[in-house]
Amino acid sequence: MNVRSLFWGSSLLLLSAVHTSPTALSAPQLHPEVSAPPTPEEVAAFLETQAEAGALTSALLVKKGGETLFEIYPRDHTASTKNLMFSVSKSLTSLALGIALDEFGGDINASICEWITPTADERICEASLKDVLHMSSGIGWSEAYSEVIDGSHVLRMLYGRGVLDMSAFVASLPQIGAPGSTFNYSTGDTQLLSRVLHSLTGEQSQSYIRTALFDHLGITDFIWEQDSQGVLIGGAQSYFTAPDMAKIGEFMLAGGQMNGEQIIPQTYFQDSLTASEAVIGGETRTVPYGYQWWLNRAEASAEARWTNATDGTFAALGHWGQSLIMIPEEETVVVRFAEDKTSRFDMNGLLGLLRGIPAMPEEPQTSATLGNKGPVSTSPEETLEQSLGYQAQFYCSCVLVSERSPEACIESMRTPEVPEPAVSFISENTAQSELAGRGKRAIFTEGEGCRLESDMSFPIEG
């Protein structure tokens, strides 16, 4: 285990309530029962205990006041490993969209049909871009991940019949609710945002997100995969190193500023971290979700997602435990890469440990369960297509984008439903999965990552 640690600073730049720019030097606002911060050995022991229960950490990077406190790589990751960020990508898509709307004059209250064409239910045109940012498009979307092979819209889009034109697949689904009224967490909604970004930037969203956002942060070594239309897979398929994710966290703590320049329009930035209101389970509630960012509390009286974090804490969170967490009151960024496939990681416990708070019970199940996550019906043939697509895509990207060993990638792919992945490279840039006499291929392109060759599998001879 590789552990790097620095001592906690005695004074920090304290951010204003709206996370704009540093205003004063002050000691951090800590929990009243705070004790001494942990040693590197204590943090490593905590991660090991969680790993024994099945919540595997690949990287942990903690920065405070611009200094690295802990940098730990317990498994095969290093500081240069580009990790699949899953839904952390959603928050980054929102940042790029905010810049593009300002630059190209898009209206956040305009109908989503200014940029996408409905193919089934025109009621989607009643949804504004703001509704989609809030995950309240009204589209009947299932975000179920029964570890790859159960039926769900997200799996159909990423690995099955929606893979060639993902935003068109989303736009083909029926509406089940009034736009702007019901919160339903949806990678499909984020894919519509990607299509908007693609349209605003003249179909140059890949280069735009690099020059308009990441170049300002000094982030050059990342990959963001696209569908066959050249549209970024905005809700799932970005790859970043832990140090670069920390740069994004520090950028967020600075209110979207870099070197005195306001990169993210200030109003958009503030609205991004403002809770929305929607119906959940038939009840109107304030939702701890802004423009694709999770908030620790929806409002002062609401239950916190993490009781060991401050009220102003916000985060970008992804499948299998990927986390980018900002604690603005203490100018702290926490980056965690993970494979939490069989156990849920105790993030509340880690935050308490890092902040020197005595042990408290694990965080309650709150925001993670918001919205419709039930599976949709699927045929055995479609289940096979999605499993083949998952194996080819994941293996190709794991080996050629993340640059992990084939053995480590096979191990990462294993789930109860896919205990023995059947995938290999048939050329230096093409991964092929094989199952039940069928196969799928994912092809790697330098600078773009991997992409499934087709939405349908082909017969395997012999």
Other CB atoms within a 10 A radius of the CB of residue 12 amount to 22
Domain boundary among the residues 206, 239, 272 is at 239
* CATH number, domain containing residue 253: 3.30.450
For residue 245, the one-letter residue type is: M
The answer to whether position 310 is within a domain reads yes
Q: pLDDT by residue (tens digit) across 74-113?
A: 999 999 999 999 999 999 999 999 999 999 999 999 999 9
Cβ–Cβ under 8 Å, residues 248 and 324: yes
pLDDT band at 383 (very low <50, low <70, confident <90, very high): confident
H helix or E strand, kind and range, residue 388: helix 380-400
* CATH number, domain containing residue 122: 3.40.710.10
| CA-based max dimension of the chain | 71
What proportions of the chain, in percent to the nearest 5, are helix, strand and coil? 30, 25, 45
Are residue 120 and residue 161 in the same domain, yes or no?
Answer: yes
What three-state secondary structure class fits 407?
helix
Tally of domains within the chain: 3
Q: Which residue has the higher pLDDT, 25 or 237?
A: 237
The answer to whether position 368 is within a domain reads no
Domain range enclosing 48: 2-81+241-260+306-362
* Whole-number percent of the chain with pLDDT over 90: 73
Q: What is the DSSP string of 59-116?
A: EEEEEETTEEEEEEE-SS--TT--EE-TTHHHHHHHHHHHHHHHHHT--TTSBGGGT-
* All residues at 6 or more sequence positions from 69 whose CB lies less than 8 Å from its CB, including other chains: 5, 6, 8, 37, 62, 63, 354
Q: pLDDT by residue (tens digit) across 303-329?
A: 899 999 999 999 999 999 999 999 999
Are residue 210 and residue 320 in the same domain, yes or no?
Answer: no
pLDDT exceeds 60 at position 1: no
pLDDT band at 163 (very low <50, low <70, confident <90, very high): very high
Nearest-10 crossing angle of helices 380-400, 406-413: 150
The answer to whether position 296 is within a domain reads no
Q: pLDDT value at position 369? A: 41
Are residue 209 and residue 97 in the same domain, yes or no?
Answer: yes
Are residue 142 and residue 225 in the same domain, yes or no?
Answer: yes
pLDDT exceeds 90 at position 115: yes
The answer to whether position 192 is within a domain reads yes
Q: What is the DSSP string of 170-205?
A: HHTSPB-S-TTTB----HHHHHHHHHHHHHHTTS-H
Are residue 228 and residue 246 in the same domain, yes or no?
Answer: no
The answer to whether position 221 is within a domain reads yes
Are residue 234 and residue 156 in the same domain, yes or no?
Answer: yes
Are residue 322 and residue 228 in the same domain, yes or no?
Answer: no
Are residue 74 and residue 119 in the same domain, yes or no?
Answer: no
CA dist 387 and 175 (Å) reads 27
Going by C-alpha positions, the residue among 354, 438, 451 that lies closest to residue 397 is 451
Q: pLDDT value at position 118? A: 84
DSSP label at residue 163: S
For residue 157, the one-letter residue type is: M
Q: pLDDT value at position 13? A: 25
Distance set, CA 109 to CA 105, 163, 187 (Å):
12, 29, 20
pLDDT exceeds 80 at position 345: yes
Are residue 67 and residue 114 in the same domain, yes or no?
Answer: no
pLDDT band at 201 (very low <50, low <70, confident <90, very high): very high
The answer to whether position 299 is within a domain reads no
CA dist 403 and 401 (Å) reads 5
Are residue 114 and residue 47 in the same domain, yes or no?
Answer: no
Q: Which residue has the higher pLDDT, 235 or 301?
A: 235
The answer to whether position 187 is within a domain reads yes
Are residue 95 and residue 227 in the same domain, yes or no?
Answer: yes
Q: pLDDT by residue (tens digit) across 4-42?
A: 333 222 222 222 222 332 222 233 344 445 557 899 999
Domain boundary among the residues 333, 362, 391 is at 362
DSSP label at residue 164: S
The answer to whether position 219 is within a domain reads yes
Domain boundary among the residues 362, 388, 409 is at 362
Q: pLDDT value at position 303? A: 87
Are residue 165 and residue 50 in the same domain, yes or no?
Answer: no
